[in-house]
Amino acid sequence: MTMTRRGALKVLGAAAGAAAVTTAEARTPKPSGPDDLGLLFDATRCVGCRACSIACRDANGLAPDVAMIGGAPYDAPADLNGSTLSVIRQWSTESETGYLKAQCMHCADPACSSVCMMGALHKGKRGVVQYDVDRCVGCRNCQIACPFNVPKFQWASASPKIIKCELCRHRWDQGKGPACAEVCPRGAVVSGSRPELLAEAKRRLAAKPAAYQGGIYGETQGGGTACLYLSPVGFAPFGLPALGNEPAPALVETVQHAIYQGAFAPMVLFGTFAIVAWKNRHAVTAAEENDS
Amino acid sequence: MSSAPPRPVHGKLLTPGVTFLLLLWGLGTIAGLYRFIMGLGAATSMNDGYPWGIWIAIDVVVGTGLASGGYVLAFLVFILNKGKYHPLVRPALLTSLLGYGVAGVAVAFDLGRYWTMWRIPVSPQYWSSTSVLLEVALCMMAYTVVIFLELSPAWLEGLAAGMVPGRARFAARWLPRAEKALPFLIAFGLLLPTMHQSSLGGLMMMAGLKLHPLWHSGFLPLYFLFTAFAMGFGVLYFESIFSSAAFMRPLENRLLATLGRYVAGAILAFLALRFVVLGLEGKLGLVYSAGRMAFFFWAEIVIFLASAVIFLRQGQLGRPHQQLQAALLAMLGGALYRVDVFLIAYDPGNGWVYFPSVSEILVTLGLIATETVIYVLVVRKFPILAGVSTPPGRDVPAGLTEGTAS
């Protein structure tokens, strides 16, 4: 007696039902910690002196990214790149122009570490998104995932690494924080714990409400970031994406969890396939014999 | 009709077609060496905005989609119990094995730190349970092994019929065991592609706002499963007709004719679901207003729709030219959908652009050429294709211009 198609479909249906009964649990966003280290950048104070960029290079031992401008060499990276962890960029609107510091945002719930196959990018102490080259295979999925296009790949290297800001965690032992904040002459970039930075940002907003627009970027965007931004013109001119409050990993991991139910759904599916294929194994030869 | 047991096709190996493919292989090898000597930055057009180029989008994502023939056929034959399609199983599994093999090689070209690739399967202590890419990687590796084992009766039969006594003894011992294990291998061979073909879509969910809203959806995994079905069936038809023409074998067109309604059904369900989901997500207006992206969206829809219609129409007479049209359209539609998701509808902003470099194109062509040459070689030497084969010793030029024996 061979299994009919209807019989097979019944088994498949039952398996699908069993998998659906265990309810899909939504993966909730991961909150930031009270001790998470971050930066506050205030575009109303930045004059574009680039002291932070130079200090970052020194502190992290990165060679200057030299370009010839008007016949003279300048350390002038246009963007974050394989040897640049922090950069000052210009922004402009119809009436105003100013500067913007870009570096890793250190998300509370980072997409880069969610996609990373072997945890080369992962949340470390004080919420820092850090990189461990020994676990990196160079797949560059982090670059696809990051909503801020932060992780950079050393394209020209024979042994390429992913490069991104780690908030100078190698200096913490010496009692020092991020080098960029240390050298800023105008308090445009300050470092501290995220709750402290949020309080400072709110203090500045309250003191001069007319000077700012758009609130605090990073307070809720993308599930919250440890690096926060204040702007006189809102955040679209900065090129910061208009992210919702839900971090991307919450959606992706919810969908994946709904499909897989841990390993339960694949196991049920495998068992079903195995039983049906085993029952049908003679049908194949029978059909062939009938044909000939 | 074509229910005789599978047999080697035999015939001359170095035909003009194969020579041309070997030339492509040579060019691809040179381009590949260039990548390993000069690095990814010099050899490819990939950049920090477009970190994945055609080696991922075409060689892996489209390539394994086209390699889903073994998957869909195993489902049809062993789960839906359509034993009459069994003669198509071995050639389908062979193309699947080659397709996944090519994907594996392409990944080795693409990975920045390729020499650490071996660590992925052997480092469970580092595995990240949240990584969709890890699931894709492990699943694809496992599946490649499974297809190889699913095909083991073919190469064991080949060894058993050979002249070397040691090999023949080995084959005689393992052939019954392989056949006994087949249902479980098939179950794995169905589970693994279900997982990783859907997860290929899951990969691009994380791109968030960087993926155009017409493509970004929580349904991406399901869409990728549908396109795997469409492309897998397309390849099945294409391969059957191609093999008939190239090796002067009788056409399996009658056998294929009745299959058409399943393929059309899968394609139409996919199209309907996409519109329903776009409606639910409130994005239906974009199909008119999204400009260049709307063009690519409609191109996918029209190609798939045409494919479904022809798949239904060929069912009455089983005309090979209609089958070929329908198959090519299904393959094209699936390929376009997947390239759209991975490259065309992906925009990192900030003025980044990507167009594949000469090296990237040559490596891709070289891999496809290698795959085709190995296919020709294997069907000539091993019992893959069912039915009548031309008598050994007769030269058979591989070319579609040769008359078909239908």
Confidence tier at A165 by pLDDT (50, 70, 90): very high
Average pLDDT over residues B17-37: 94
Tokens representing residue B385 in the block? 């294709």
User: Does residue A256 sit within a domain?
Assistant: no
CA dist., res. B406 & res. B375, Å (int): 23
Q: What is the mean pLDDT of residues A77-88?
A: 94
Residues of B in contact with A259 (CB under 8 A): 198, 221
- Domain for residue A16, yes or no? yes
CB atoms A143 and B51 under 8 Å: yes
User: Residue A273: what are its φ and ψ, rounded to 5°?
Assistant: -60, -45
Does A247 share its domain with A281? Answer: no
Are A283 and A243 part of one and the same domain?
A: no
Q: Give pLDDT, residue A18.
A: 52
The CA angle B178-B182-B183, to the nearest 5 degrees, is 155
Is it the case that residue B382 has pLDDT exceeding 90? no
Give the least confident one: A83-87, B202-206, B277-281, B391-395. Answer: B391-395
User: Is residue A29 one of the residues assigned to a domain?
Assistant: no
Does residue A28 fall inside a structural domain? Answer: no
pLDDT at B393 over 50: no
Yes or no, beta carbons of B42 and A137 under 8 Å apart: no
Name the residue among B47, B86, B208 with its Cβ closest to that of A287: B86
Together in a domain, A157 and A14: no
Do both A286 and A229 map to the same domain?
A: no
Contact list, A148 vs chain B (CB under 8 Å): none
pLDDT at A288 over 70: no
CA separation for the pair B215, B300 (Å, rounded): 11
Model pLDDT, residue B78 = 85
Query: What pLDDT digit, counting tens, does each position of A230-266 carry?
Result: 999 999 999 999 999 999 999 899 888 888 887 888 9
Query: In the prediction, which pLDDT does A24 show?
Result: 56
| Residue the block writes with tokens 């394609």 | B267
- What is d(CA B110, CA B36) in angstroms, rounded to the nearest whole number? 10
**Alpha-carbon B89 to chain mean position:** 14
Report whether pLDDT(B169) > 50: yes
On whether both A172 and A270 belong to a single domain, the answer is no
pLDDT score recorded for residue B17: 85
Could you report the per-residue pLDDT of B224-279, keeping only the tens digit for each?
A: 999 999 999 999 899 888 878 777 777 777 778 888 888 999 999 999 999 999 99
Contacts of residue B120 in chain A, CB cutoff 8 Å?
117-118, 137
Same domain, A45 and A184: yes
d(CA B197, CA B178): 26
Mean pLDDT of chain B: 88
Boundaries of domain holding A113? 37-251
Tokens of B154: 């073919």
Tell me what pLDDT residue B159 has: 81
A280 lies within 8 A of chain B by CB:
yes
Amino acid at A249: P
CA distance to partner chain A, nearest, from residue B168 (Å): 24
Q: Do A139 and A277 sit in the same domain of this protein?
A: no
Yes or no, beta carbons of A266 and B120 under 8 Å apart: no
Residue A100 lies in a domain: yes
Percent with pLDDT over 90 in chain B = 62
Give A120-137 pLDDT, tens digit per residue: 999 999 999 999 999 999
Most confident residue range from A11-20, A270-279, B85-94, B205-214: B205-214
Q: Which of B76, B79, B119 to mutate to test the interface with A (most CBs of A within 10 A)?
A: B79
CA nearest to A248, candidates A132, A168, A147: A147
Cα(B252)–Cα(B260) distance, rounded to whole angstroms?
13
Neighbour-count burial for B344-356, b at 16+ CB within 10 Å, e otherwise:
bbbbbeeeeebeb
Contact predicate B241/B251, CB 8 Å: yes
CATH number of the domain to which A48 belongs: 3.30.70.20
Q: What is the pLDDT of residue B387?
A: 58
Nearest to A76 by CA among A42, A50, A102, A56: A50
Tokens of residue A239, six digits:
């090129």
| A278 inside 8 A of chain B by CB | yes
Q: Would the pLDDT of B406 be above 80?
A: no
* Residue ranges of B 36-65 with Cβ closer than 8 A to chain A: 39-42, 46-49, 51-52
Q: Which residue of B has its CA nearest to A144?
A: B207
Q: Please indicate whether, in this complex, the C-beta atoms of A8 and B51 are within 8 angstroms of each other.
A: no
For residues A150 and A170, what is the distance between their CA atoms, to the nearest angstrom? 20
Chain A closest CA to B370's CA: distance in Å? 24
Of residues B406 and B210, the one with the higher pLDDT is B210
| Residue A191 is assigned to a structural domain of this protein | yes
- The answer to whether residue A66 scores a pLDDT higher than 80 is yes
Place of tokens 């992206």: B293
pLDDT at B56 over 80: yes
B119/A118 CB distance under 8 A: yes
Q: Point out the residue among A8, A119, A157 whose CB comes nearest to the CB of B39.
A: A157
Query: What is the CATH architecture of B16-381?
Result: Up-down Bundle (1.20)
* pLDDT bracket for residue A12 (50, 70, 90): low
- The predicted structure's pLDDT at residue A172: 94
With tokens 């839906």, the residue in question is B80
Model confidence at B321, pLDDT cuts 50, 70, 90, reads confident
DSSP run (H or E) holding B210: none
Touching check for B33 and chain A: CB below 8 Å?
no
- Same-domain check for residues A140 and A69: yes
Q: How confident is the model at residue A169 (pLDDT cuts 50, 70, 90)?
A: very high
Both A52 and A84 in a single domain? yes
pLDDT of residue A85: 97
- Going by the DSSP 8-state scheme, the letter that residue A33 receives in this structure is P
**Contact residues, A window 83-112, toward B, CB-based 8 Å cutoff:** 111
Domain tally for chain A? 2
Residue A285 has pLDDT above 80, yes or no: no
Q: Which residues in chain A touch residue B82, judged by CB atoms under 8 angstroms apart?
A: 5, 287
Closest CA to A117 of B199, B68, B44: B199
Among the partner residues B78, B80, B131, nearest to A117 by beta-carbon distance: B131
Write the pLDDT tens digit of every residue in B58-74: 999 999 999 999 999 88
Whether A14 and chain B come into contact, CB under 8 Å, resolves to no
Q: Could you please report the per-residue DSSP string of B348-372?
A: --TT------HHHHHHHHHHHHHHH
Q: Quick one: three-class SS letters along B269-298? A: HHHHHHHHHHHHCCCCCHHHHCCHHHHHHH
> Is A119 within 8 Å of chain B by CB?
yes
Higher pLDDT, B404 or B37: B37
φ, ψ for residue A39, nearest 5 deg = -130, 150
- Work out the average pLDDT over A163-172: 96
State how far the alpha carbon of B40 is from the alpha carbons of A149, A153, A226, B32, B133, in Å: 19, 10, 33, 10, 20
- Cβ distance of A117 and B116 shorter than 8 Å: no
pTM, full prediction: 0.90
Please say if the pLDDT value at position B395 is more than 80: no
**Tell me: the pLDDT tens digits for A187-197?**
999 999 999 99
Residue A58 in domain: yes
The whole-chain average pLDDT of chain A stands at 89
What DSSP state is assigned to residue A69?
E
- Are residue A60 and residue A113 in the same domain, yes or no? yes
Q: What distances in angstroms separate CA B131 from CA A116, A164, B127, B251, one per listed residue?
A: 6, 20, 8, 44
The reply to whether A31 falls in a domain is: no
Share of chain A above pLDDT 90, in %: 72
Q: How far apart are CA B99 and CA B238, in angstroms?
A: 15
Residues A225, A272, single domain; the answer is no
- Same-domain check for residues A53 and A88: yes
pLDDT tens sequence across B178-230? 888 888 899 999 999 999 999 999 999 999 999 999 999 999 999 999 999 99
